[in-house]
Amino acid sequence: MKKIIITAFAPFNGREENASFIGVNGASFDCKSVEAVKLLLPVEYNTCFDLLKSAIDSQKPDGVICFGEAPRKEITPEFFALNVMNATIGDNKGVIMSNMPINPNGESSYKTKLPADRIVAALIQSKLPAAPSFHAGTYVCNNLFYLLMQYVANEQLPCGFIHVPLLKDGKTGMKREKIIKSVQVCVTALADYLG
């Protein structure tokens, strides 16, 4: 059995729900192959990684997948975390970052340690829209992704970040059941990769 930490974000920017939480909270797994440790993170630059770091240190997982939401049509494993914070909206504490480094002395970017191509293939095989994405933006999602990858830079821990589409609202977004299925497929693909 593989222990995998899966994280989601709280709602932000005035929205009532976050698609990543819907997916992570609703996902269920074969208890013989995956032990999922679910974690809800605040949309806050200064605290989101602290909770994840504590979970990694205490749980000693075999892998980590962080989920967030983005206004996209596909589920998108992110390939690179960038050393920058830049957004026109504040986090849930009202903090606005404008072209600031996450770590002034850090690497300019880190590559995911997830088997991203394999996850995209598994999603497509499950008839879910998926595509690789080259970075996670420059908001709190990317901040979490960068700090995670920096923390495990010298470890062989498969981990990274995946965006799911927003919850369906009228003509745009993805239905709740498909968001849940997408999280299940991503986590199962990682567990299969881990063997």
Is 44 a residue of the active site?
A: no
The Cα–Cα gap between 15 and 21 comes to: 12
Rg (C-alpha) for the chain, rounded Å, is: 15
- The reply to whether 135 belongs to the active site is no
Q: Which of 48, 69, 74, 141 is catalytic?
A: 141
Q: Which of 44, 78, 159, 186 is catalytic?
A: 78
Active site residue 69: no
Q: How far is CA 63 from the centre of its chain?
A: 12
What per-residue string of b and e applies to 102-134 under the rule 16 or more CB within 10 Å gives b?
Answer: beeeeeeebebbbbbeebbebbeebebebeebe
- Rounded CA-CA distance 124/106 in Å is 35
Active-site residues: which are they? 78, 141, 163
